[in-house]
């Protein structure tokens, strides 16, 4: 018996397949693109292929992400807040704060000792500091998004960005380049700007975050520069799983397994 979690996000569609005991058999990440159904099929086919099973062997599917209602054959649709919390709990049992930065929004989630959501905050209607923001900045810097991760290394941290609006920040980056400012200083400035927004978001759910254990999920967690800036801002290490972008799908698959067990 197998359980599937599908996370249809704005940038990527992720799937995680679990076996009977809740062990991860396979995971996949594909670009969402313009056709949601195709992305769902691709991500699902990929995990089925990797695990060597067929679709009819899946007992239950739970969908999540902004397109959660578009996943057919689902047992339930559950928000990404609940799914990321469930996923991170299975990876880092002691996590008390979860930071999830996805393609177009960011969230701070406060977890109780059982991994239940007891508080959450989302960014206010603006994609500043999210995956889309980083994409735009990479474009302005004329580098690949993956390259951004370590470009801040060795920076002195003397550049501060004055705007987090994606449009204004992009033109600010362009003019900093024109002024001859080193790329690593610009990237470090971007990372610190993102971190400062996230600190404000986390403060809304945990006014005193000192001493709390913080974990991170979502595609932006692949960017080690952002994670470094967050660690510095919170003065603590941030736990990042090896596949941070599939944490939501993992949570969804775990919930599928639990729901199926409760039903039968």
Pick from 31, 118, 237, 261 the residue near other proteins by CB under 8 A: 118
Show the CA angle centred on residue 54, arms to residues 50 and 60, nearest 5°: 100
> Hey, which residues between 22 and 51 contact other proteins (CB under 8 A)?
none
> Hey, which residues between 188 and 227 contact other proteins (CB under 8 A)?
204-205
CB of 109 to other proteins, least distance (A): 9
Pick from 7, 100, 105, 185 the residue near other proteins by CB under 8 A: 105
CB of 33 to other proteins, least distance (A): 17
Q: Are 107 and 220 in contact (CB under 8 A)?
A: no
Closest CA to 83 of 59, 103, 104, 107: 107
CB of 105 to other proteins, least distance (A): 7
Nearest to other proteins of 16, 111 (CB atom) = 111
Nearest to other proteins of 70, 139 (CB atom) = 70
CB of 67 to other proteins, least distance (A): 9
Per rule CB under 8 A, is residue 125 in the interface with other proteins? yes
Q: Are 198 and 106 in contact (CB under 8 A)?
A: yes
Per rule CB under 8 A, is residue 163 in the interface with other proteins? no
Q: Which residues fall within 8 angstroms of residue 164, CB to CB, at 6 or more apart?
A: 128, 129, 133, 193, 194, 197
Nearest to other proteins of 14, 80 (CB atom) = 80
Nearest to other proteins of 79, 232 (CB atom) = 79
Pick from 2, 3, 92, 120 the residue near other proteins by CB under 8 A: 120
Nearest to other proteins of 8, 190 (CB atom) = 8
Pick from 81, 88, 169, 220 the residue near other proteins by CB under 8 A: 81
Per rule CB under 8 A, is residue 121 in the interface with other proteins? yes
Quick one: which segment of 41-49, 77-85, 132-140, 166-174 binds other proteins (CB under 8 A)?
77-85
Q: What are the residues binding other proteins (CB under 8 A)?
A: 66, 78-82, 105, 110, 112, 116-122, 124-125, 204-205
């Amino acid at each position: 018996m197998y359980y599937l979690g599908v996370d249809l996000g704005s940038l990527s569609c992720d799937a995680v397949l679990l076996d009977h005991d809740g062990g991860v058999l396979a995971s996949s990440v594909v670009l969402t693109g313009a056709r949601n159904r195709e992305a769902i099929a691709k991500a699902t086919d990929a995990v089925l292929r990797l695990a060597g099973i067929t679709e009819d062997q899946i007992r239950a599917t739970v969908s999540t992400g902004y397109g959660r209602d578009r996943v057919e054959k689902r047992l339930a649709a559950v928000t990404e807040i609940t799914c990321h919390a469930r996923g991170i709990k299975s990876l880092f049992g002691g996590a008390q704060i979860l930071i999830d930065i996805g393609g177009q929004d960011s969230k701070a989630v406060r977890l109780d000792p059982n991994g239940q959501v007891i508080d959450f905050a989302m960014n206010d209607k603006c994609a500043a500091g999210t995956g889309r923001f980083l994409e735009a900045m990479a474009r302005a810097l004329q580098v690949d998004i993956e390259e951004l991760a370590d470009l801040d290394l060795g920076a002195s941290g003397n550049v501060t960005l004055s705007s987090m609006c994606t449009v204004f920040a992009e033109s600010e980056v362009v003019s900093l380049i024109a002024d001859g400012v080193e790329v690593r200083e610009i990237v470090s400035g971007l990372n610190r700007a993102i971190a400062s927004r996230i600190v404000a978001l986390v403060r809304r759910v945990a006014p005193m975050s000192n001493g709390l254990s913080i974990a991170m999920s979502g595609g932006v967690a692949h960017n080690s520069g952002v994670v470094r800036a967050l660690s510095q801002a919170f003065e603590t290490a941030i736990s990042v799983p090896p596949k941070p972008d599939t944490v939501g799908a993992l949570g969804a698959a775990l919930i599928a397994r639990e729901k199926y067990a409760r039903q039968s």
